[in-house]
Each structure stands twice: as structure tokens, then as C-alpha cells.
Chains A and B, each alone.
Chain A
Amino acid sequence: MTLRFNDETFRGDYTYHNSAAAVRRFPFPFDQDSYMYSVNIEPHRPTRAGSVFEHRFDVDEHYVAEMQDRAITLADDPLRCQSLPHMELAGWDFLELVMVCKSEDYPDMFTLHRDGDRWHWINRPLGIDQRFTFMDTSTLPCGPLEYIGRQTQGDHALLDQREGNLWMDAGIVTSQADWSLDFNIGMNFFEWHAPVPKAHELGIFQRALKFLTNVQQGKPSRRLNWTMTVNPRLDTSPENYHKWGPEKRTITPENVGAKQYLRVELQSFYRLPRSNALVFPIRCYLISLEDLVTVPKWGRRFHRVLRDLPDELAEYKGFAVNRSMIVDYLARFDDGAETSAGIFPD
């Protein structure tokens, strides 16, 4: 199947939309009718043709529009991409990982020719044809992390591994669920996770860190995380809270199905070869409630999850104000029937 890229926006008039195929392949994050934080990490292996888990870096109908949105955010605020000086090597490792994966997984869209250090990269959807010298930043228009980050959906954090911990020492972050790279830069795994409720007491971060520091080359892992966003907006950053925070107040029982989105992050973890750093891609998928309930299993299950979710989680995820309206809307799609195991549609 050749992809058609949507002409759409993630701000202003919010013309973002999912095709019927995109709805079917949406990564619905709940494998049962209730939700609590857990160490939900599994191998990032190709899973289910057509699903978002088929390829290492999923490219979908939103690719071109997302990259345009990233360019707008970066132009307004260059601090959304930062790399401490010792992370340049990790940036090159990451650039290589993306170029190799995309050219192998999507040969019709991406091509990589390598002749020693002389590389030639072609990105057809974005109209890019670049010859450069690997590991020589002066041959690219910007640093390697920013260069490839502007061509890869999702945010990316590069973590340096030292003293048995991970340190957020570089990243390109323009589609985040209310956290800030500029604030977190230089922090370690426990420091940047400090605001999360309950998970510390459950011992989740301690176990997750032990797992992450042992991720091996060629054996990436993944997990899903989720939150709720009003309007299909990628840049829900603390820096721009004044732009999107007030939009939460625009939800009414009439428009909740169209304006309220479930936001799912497909997070993956890769060990990088030369730098021994970890790269953490955080890929964001958005679906409106009215599209979500077209899959009956998802409508039923999502109603039960949100109805029974602990208050602290709704508060932390920032949708407590609209929770009852959302639950009332979803209740109309829950007939009480049993739901099947797993996340995929029946």
C-alpha cells in the first residue's frame, strides 16, 4: 500500500483527522477493563502486519503534517532541541539507527547509500536529498539529532548512562504531554519522574531503571503510555500552557466526542552502539472519542477504564475537570457486554 499523506494542522483550525484505516490501526493502550501503572515493557519486535508495531519507526499518513508542525514549534522556541556537548556521538548513533531502519522498512520512501563515511540520504515524502560525511557535523545543515529529529515522527530523548542511572542529556521534544526538555535537561531517571503519582511507591521506577540500563544492542523494547488532550494538538508543553490549557474549558456534552482526544504514546528503548547511550522515541498518536467508539470493544472498555480510574491519575493526566462529561459520553457505547483480551479490535 502506498501512503497518502494528510493535509492537516495540529493547531489553529485543527484539521487533523484519521482515515478509517488509521482508526483501525490505532494503538489502543488497554488490554483489560481497568488501568494502573505497571512495568508494561515488552520486546519491540515486528508485530502484526499493518499495525503501528510492524516497523521500528512507524511512518503513517500524518508524517508530513507532523514534521511541518515540528518546524513551527522549533522556529518559535529553539530550546525544544538541546544536546549537551558530550551527546554528539549519541546523536550520530541515533541518526544512523533511523536512517538504516527507515531505508530497510520503507524502501519506497527512504534510501540510504553508504560508502565508508560518505553517506547519501534520500527522504522522498519530505523532498530531501542530502550527501554528507558521517560524524562530521559541518556537512549537515544542523546537528545530527536535530537533523534526523526533523524527519522522524515522535519526540526523542537521548539518555547518557552513568553511575547506574540514565541522564536526559539531549532531546528533540515538540509533541510532549506537558513536560519540558528545557526543565528536565541534565536530570536523572528518578528526578524527571518525580511528579508522577503512585508509581514510585509501587516500585515501578526502580525496576524500570534496572531494566533500561540493561537494554542491549539489537534488542529494543517498548511500552504504551496514555493521556487525554482537548483538540488534536501535538505541542501540549508547559511552555505553551497558556495556549492550550484554556481549551479544556471549551468541552461541552455536545462537542466532547469530536473535541476530546485519547493521546497514546508508543515509547521504545534502543541501545546505541558507539556511545552506549539509550534513545527513547516517544511517538504520539491521537484519536477523537467519536472515532474511537467506532470500534465497539474500545468504546466499552474505555468507558470502564475512565469510570474506575483513581482520582490521582485523572488529576495528574490533566482531565479531571472534564472527566464526568467524558464518562457520560462513553457510557452510551457500553452495553455491559464482555470484552475480549488484548488491545486489538475484534
Chain B
Amino acid sequence: MMLRVASVEPLSPLVTKFRFVHPDGAALPLFSGGAHVVVEMPDGEMIRRNAYSLVSDPMDGSGYEIAVRREDLGRGGSLYMHTRVAEGDLLGVGAPANLFGLDLRARKHVLVAGGIGITPFIAQIRQLTRLQLPFELHYCARSRSEAAGLALLPDLPQVHVHISDEGNRMDPAEVLSGQPLGTHAYTCGPEGLVAAMADAGARLGWPEAALHSETFLAPPPGKPFRVTLARSALTLTVGPDQSLLEALEAAGVDAPWLCRGGVCGQCETAVLSCHGRIEHHDHWLDDDEKAAQTKIMPCVSRFQGQDLILDR
């Protein structure tokens, strides 16, 4: 759907909040806490598509809000949002999808966010509050000026803020220990934080199924490479700041996708021949599948070598 940018509001030097509404004022589909939408950005010849967690109230269909961190080194999607999008613009926004939902069986929910990883939890807190389910949230940031999440978080006793510059680093083991049986923990943030939480959970004997994390990836930029599409009888060059999926789309090749972040599995593509090394950046294929080089996830993964032939 095409939605209008209703407001653009800086939350910190690097993070800006965007609000989208339906141009006719129609209600938008409701969603569950942790859901994301894919925003389409027309950029010259190509359309960039980035996934962003919704930070508005899941039960409020009057608009969608996202918080975007500016990444100067990325492929340009978030830079585009910061530099080219203004109030009144129309942008394509997909239907909400959720790959990081709450496990509603939990007796209690412990939410741990690092930096911009706070975004999925904003809507989850609203959902948990409405359902009257017990939770606590830990928000970690380096400094107060970088802590854009502070502007989004409600003033509740369950919300704990950890600013490392102020000597107030979060201790994962302390957060996880002493929680009631049946608690689920959710982590979203830099890989180091996700690993530290998984580690602490394992040491404290938490069941794996009670530890959730959002390992959402933006496709990394890389070197250009060539790829041959057997069914479409095409050979393409994937540019340095373009994903393989974006290159397929730009060439008009039909390729499925959902998360565009290497976690949903929807874009999985068979590799017919590979002379070189696939740079697997996804969290979908297992280690054996990655080593076999017979499958690739075009939304995040790249290639280096002589030639790569795909079943597309």
C-alpha cells in the first residue's frame, strides 16, 4: 500500500521516527508486538526495500511508526530515509509480518534491548501492558545522547535503563537469575549482546526454547559479482551496494521474499553450479547446507569467485 509520511521527528542525532498514515485516512491492519513492515524506497533505477520494526501501538490502526537509525556505511536504505524522505511523501509500505513474536504462554517476559534493538520491544510493551502480562525491560545504550529509545519508552517501574558511560552496564546473568519458572527472555541488539544473553542463559540452565533473539540483518555491502540465472537465461552483475535479491528484482526476475534479513527462509534459491565461495550471511541455512554451497539466500548473501549459476 502507498502511505503518506505524516511526520518526521528526530529522536537523537542518529535516530529519526517516521509516522505513516493512509492517504484517505483509512484504518491500517493491526499487528502483533515485534512485527515489521518493509518500506520501499525508489532510488534511481532500483527500489530499495528495508524492513523496520513497528514502534506504534499494535491496537491502533490510525498510523504506523518506525524508528530508523542512520547508517552512513550501509547500502543506503536508512540513509535514504534520513536524507530524502520528508513529510507529505508517499512511500510503499508492506503488510506487517512478525518473525519475533512474544511467546504468550510465558509466565513472565524479560525483554533485553541494545541500542536500536529497542524497536521491536516498544510495541511488545504496549501489547503486554494491554494483556496485563508480567514483564520487565532492560535497555542498554552506550551514552545517554545515543539512547534514542528513551524518547519511545513509557515511564513504568518495569523499565530499566543501563547506560555504560555512566558505569551502569547490564549484567546478563543478573537479569536472568532469579526469574520465575516459565519466564521467556527476548534479546534484540548487537551480536555481542545476543551471544552474552544466550551464554548466561545456558549457564543458568534456561531451556533453549525460552531464549529468543532477533538476529535481523541488514544485507552487508560487498564487492560486485556476476551471477547467471539458468531459468531466466540471464547473466547479471550485482553492484557493491545492492543485494543479490535487489539485482534479481531490478532485472524483472520473480523472486520470493519476506524478511529481507536472512531469517525467514522465503527467498531460498537452489545453486546449480558454483566455482568460488558463497558468502553466507543468513540465519536460515544450517552449517552443513552452507558448506555444501547448494543453496543461497539472495536477500543477504553474496558470492566471490569464477561463476555462480542459480535456479531462477
Instruction: Give the B-binding residues of A (Cβ under 8 A).
Output: 84-87, 89, 160-163, 210, 213-214, 216-219, 273-276
Contact = CB atoms under 8 A, between A and B. Distances in A.
A84 B58 CA distance: 23
A75 B66 CA distance: 49
Contacts of A210: 265-266
Nearest to A164: B265
A190 to B, nearest CB: 16
B170 interface: no
Contact of A217 (B96, B101, B104): B96
A274 B101 contact: no
B95 interface: yes
Contacts of B104: 86-87, 89, 160, 275
B258 A214 contact: yes
B209 A163 contact: yes
B95 A274 contact: no
Given A219-B95, A273-B30, A276-B98, 10 more contacts: A160-B105, A162-B101, A163-B209, A213-B264, A214-B266, A218-B29, A274-B30, A274-B32, A275-B32, A276-B32
A84 B105 contact: yes
Given A273-B32, A274-B58, A86 B258 contact: no
Nearest to B97: A216
A64 B101 CA distance: 38
Interface residues of B, number: 22
A124 to B, nearest CB: 27
15 contacts: A85-B105, A86-B103, A86-B105, A89-B131, A162-B101, A162-B103, A163-B209, A214-B258, A214-B264, A216-B258, A217-B95, A217-B96, A218-B95, A274-B30, A275-B32
Contact of B101 (A84, A85, A87, A276): A276
Nearest to A87: B104
Interface in B77-130: 95-98, 101, 103-105, 127
Interface of B: 29-32, 35, 58-59, 95-98, 101, 103-105, 127, 131, 209, 258, 264-266
A187 to B, nearest CB: 14
Contacts of A84: 105
Contacts of A214: 97, 258, 264-266
Given A163-B209, A275-B104, A276-B98, A217 B258 contact: no
Given A161-B101, A216-B97, A218-B95, A274 B35 contact: no
A272 B264 CA distance: 18
Nearest to A273: B30
Interface core residue of B30, B96, B104 (most chain A CB under 10 Å):
B104
A183 to B, nearest CB: 20
Nearest to A275: B32
Nearest to A161: B101
A184 B58 CA distance: 31
Contacts of B105: 84-86, 160
B31 A273 contact: yes
A273 B97 CA distance: 9
Contacts of B101: 161-162, 276
A163 B102 CA distance: 11
Nearest to B103: A162
Contacts of A213: 264
A216 B95 contact: yes
A163 B96 CA distance: 19
A219 B1 CA distance: 13
Contacts of A87: 104
Nearest to B266: A214
B98 to A, nearest CB: 4
A263 to B, nearest CB: 33
Max chain B C-beta neighbours (<10 A), residue from A161, A210, A273, A275: A273
Contacts of B127: 274
A219 B32 CA distance: 16
A274 B266 contact: no
Nearest to B259: A214
Nearest to A169: B105
Nearest to B130: A135
A192 to B, nearest CB: 18
A274 B54 CA distance: 13
Nearest to B101: A276
A274 B31 contact: yes
B93 to A, nearest CB: 13
B20 to A, nearest CB: 16
B131 A217 contact: no
A133 to B, nearest CB: 14
A273 B209 CA distance: 23
A213 B95 CA distance: 15
A123 to B, nearest CB: 24
A151 B276 CA distance: 60
B258 to A, nearest CB: 5
Contacts of B131: 89
Nearest to A210: B265
A279 to B, nearest CB: 14
A149 to B, nearest CB: 20
Contacts of B98: 276
B250 to A, nearest CB: 23
A213 B127 CA distance: 21
